[in-house]
Amino acid sequence: MSARSSRLGSLVALLALSPALSAPAREGWHPSFADAQAASARSGKGIFLCFTGKEWSAVCRQFEQHFLADPGFTEMLKKDFEPVQLDVSAFRDMTGKEEDPMPEEARLKLEFEVTTFPVVFLIGRDGRPYAVTGFRPGGIDSYAKHLEKLRESHAQQEALLARARQSSGPRRAELIAQALPDIGAFRMAQFYGDLMREVVKLDPENTTGFARDFEIKLGDHEYVKAMREMDRDLRWSDMLALTDAYIEKYKLTGSELQAALMNRFDILRRQQNFPEMVLTLDEVYRINPYNPHGRQAQQFLAKMAQQIEEQSLLESLQNQE
């Protein structure tokens, strides 16, 4: 299943949150992302942004024990980064429906599309993340070498952007596209949307092979953001209309169409629109019954059929009394 399909298929109901107090930052670490940004602007260093969920993640606790809590690790980081750690244990299941204003940890969890823990973002002087990493066994020296390789890759990306500024047309588009880091489709659109839109504009015929892909990624990003906003106000009819328009605009097929249809099913389920639920699941199943979306649709259909059978039996027994 593609990352894009997974992203589109994940707009589900949300658990309520209770606000949590942030733990004080350890020595050498900034107490908030805003403080790290301000320090980065002064020092010219990048930002080492670490998300953890120590209350429920054993790997996060290992990362804490073997690296984050080690003063030697902190000293290593501070040579090139302004480090900040955000523990999002209280916000594990949030998806964006919560009331504003959000705590910083919750807002950034959404902004950086954090779904696995621990996760680390390396952020450049321009404020954009250029690499995604996390816990790695092997000790501080090994981790330092890993970070250095990521910084070298970022330097190469910046060099490509510098070359792009000296070029025009499809060649400029190609250089920009090659410079964009592989940080996930949603994050690319979130943080590099201006450059992606420039590639689309510079290459309307998609001669580079990047423009069409970027156009779809940007569309995905806008769709998810709009769905989140509508979900806040329970605007289910608008969500259905947007999903149908999205499918039509991008001529979705295969697993991508299945993912969008499963979004549609989630909305219909909340509306308790049983006939449309069945039709939507049947369409998902017929596209491909063997992939994860198809199997999920089959499971829902079987469960609904069982519920109908049990309800019919109950009504029959009641009529006999």
Give the whole-angstrom CA distance, residue 59 versus residue 65: 10
Torsion of CA 63, 128, 40, 78, to 10 degrees: 30
CATH code of the domain covering residue 42: 3.40.30.10
In a domain, 296, yes or no: no
In a domain, 286, yes or no: no
In a domain, 216, yes or no: no
Residue matched to tokens 């399909």 = 5
State the pTM of this model: 0.81
Give the whole-angstrom CA distance, residue 122 versus residue 82: 10
In a domain, 311, yes or no: no
Beta-strand pair 81-87/46-52: parallel
Residue matched to tokens 């950086």 = 112
CB 280 within 8 A of CB 268: yes
Beta-strand pair 129-133/119-123: antiparallel
In a domain, 185, yes or no: no
In a domain, 239, yes or no: no
In a domain, 179, yes or no: no
- Overall number of domains in the chain: 1
Would you give per-residue pLDDT tens digits along the chain (321 residues)? 454 544 454 433 332 333 334 455 688 999 999 999 999 999 999 999 999 998 889 999 999 999 999 999 999 999 999 999 999 887 766 555 555 677 889 899 999 999 899 999 999 999 999 999 999 999 999 999 999 999 999 999 999 999 999 999 999 999 999 999 999 999 999 999 999 999 999 999 999 999 999 999 999 999 999 998 899 889 999 999 999 999 999 899 999 999 999 999 999 999 999 999 999 999 999 999 999 999 999 999 999 988 887 777 676 666 666
Domain span at residue 80?
23-166
Give the whole-angstrom CA distance, residue 184 versus residue 164: 22
In a domain, 186, yes or no: no
